[in-house]
Amino acid sequence: MQRVDLPWTEKYRPNALDEVIGQELVVNRLKAFVASGNFPNMIFAGTAGIGKTTCAIAFAKDLYKGNLTGAFKELNASDARGIDVIRGEVKEFAKTISMGNVPIKIIFLDEADSLTADAQHALRRTMEKFSAETRFILSANYANKIIEPIQSRCVVFRFKSLNEDNMKAYIERVVKAEGLEINDKAIEALMYVSDGDMRKLTNILQSSAMHSKKISESSIYEVAARARPKEITAMLKAAVSGNFNMAKNELDNLMLKNGMSGEDVLLQCYREVQNLAIDERVKLSVLASVGETNFRIVEGANERIQLEAMLANIALLAKPHKD
């Protein structure tokens, strides 16, 4: 699959921010900063794959007219989490003179919520010392993990989840550029398995296209190693009705046929239980059981035992309640 010409590729086109999908409020504010040539330190907060890194790089390219040399530095904080990186690489770049058309440099720290506490305190001091010539953009999935002194020095941009229209527009753009064929059911499957993560959506679409230019619903689920919603629903319905053996067989099929992990099964259970036509009291109990099982698996318990225990607990709900 050939690379689609997106705003962060080497070739610069004016107004790269215009190509960002689904974040109009953020983009409009960033455009105002580009027009003024001045901007504050910023925190880009939101879930994975919704455009934080894309916005940061597109903003820099619009601000510096595509010439980022000596004016923009990107670091992934999850790879370099310690205080030495902040005191060394970040500080050395912060003190240099901008080589761009705007006299302010940008240091972009991706996944800044992975920085250690000591590194964040060192970063706070660097932000203070070089505030005249350097601005920082911090990208974080969990902004609350960034210390308060840094948050108070930044403008926080909250990135919203992408809706179906945003994702469909992106899929159509890629399909047209790559000469692919895709039907409506495959598009729905692609949006379902990606769950709002545009990066995951792109990877799944690319992997499917490597098998065939004609993208089908089945190929999407196979590549993503995810179950169809109706398969998860069938397992939950069997458990809720008290048929543990049938629910267990459905679980076996999910994990063996699709190669799903326990956490994948739980995530889909969480999504599908909302749509079950069952008593609200039972639905709440099922959700509580899913949450408890997820906690146990994350803590290291055997996922197969925990999943079957969850189905057993749900099956027990079929017995009449005594008020």
Reported as a single tens digit per residue, the pLDDT across 211-241 is 888 888 888 888 888 888 889 999 999 999 9
| pLDDT at residue number 248 | 92
Expressed in angstroms, the distance from the first to the final Cα of the chain is 61
Domain identity same for 210 and 235: no
3 in a domain, yes or no? Answer: no
When comparing pLDDT for 71 and 10, which is higher?
Answer: 71
For residue 172, which of 189, 187, 150 has the smallest C-alpha distance? 187
- Rounded CA-CA distance 175/152 in Å is 43
Helix (H, G, I), strand (E, B) or coil at 302: coil
- Rounded CA-CA distance 157/323 in Å is 49
Domain identity same for 220 and 233: no
For residue 167, which of 151, 150, 190 has the smallest C-alpha distance? 190
Residue 5 has pLDDT above 50, yes or no: no
Residue range of the domain that includes 255? 229-316
Residues in the chain: 323
- Rounded CA-CA distance 48/113 in Å is 13
Picking from 224, 241, 266, the residue at the C-terminal end of a domain is 224
Domain identity same for 242 and 128: no
When comparing pLDDT for 119 and 1, which is higher?
Answer: 119
For residues 292-310, average pLDDT: 92
Picking from 224, 239, 257, the residue at the C-terminal end of a domain is 224
- Rounded CA-CA distance 5/273 in Å is 39
Domain identity same for 199 and 251: no
Residue 242 has pLDDT above 80, yes or no: yes
Domain identity same for 129 and 38: yes
For residues 108-136, average pLDDT: 87
Contact 102, 37 (CB under 8 A): yes
Q: Residue 183 sits in a domain of what CATH number?
A: 1.10.8.60
Q: How many CB atoms lie within 10 A of CB 62?
A: 22
Helix (H) or strand (E) holding 182: strand 181-182
The domain total for the chain is 3
Q: How many CB atoms lie within 10 A of CB 132?
A: 7
| pLDDT at residue number 1 | 41
Domain identity same for 78 and 48: yes
- Rounded CA-CA distance 87/191 in Å is 42
Helix axes 198-211, 217-224, angle to 10 degrees: 110
| pLDDT at residue number 255 | 84
DSSP 144: G
Domain identity same for 252 and 179: no
Residue 6: pLDDT band by 50, 70, 90 thresholds? very low
Picking from 158, 185, 215, the residue at the C-terminal end of a domain is 158
Structure tokens at 4: 């689609």
Residue 181 has pLDDT above 50, yes or no: yes
DSSP 106: E
180 in a domain, yes or no? Answer: yes
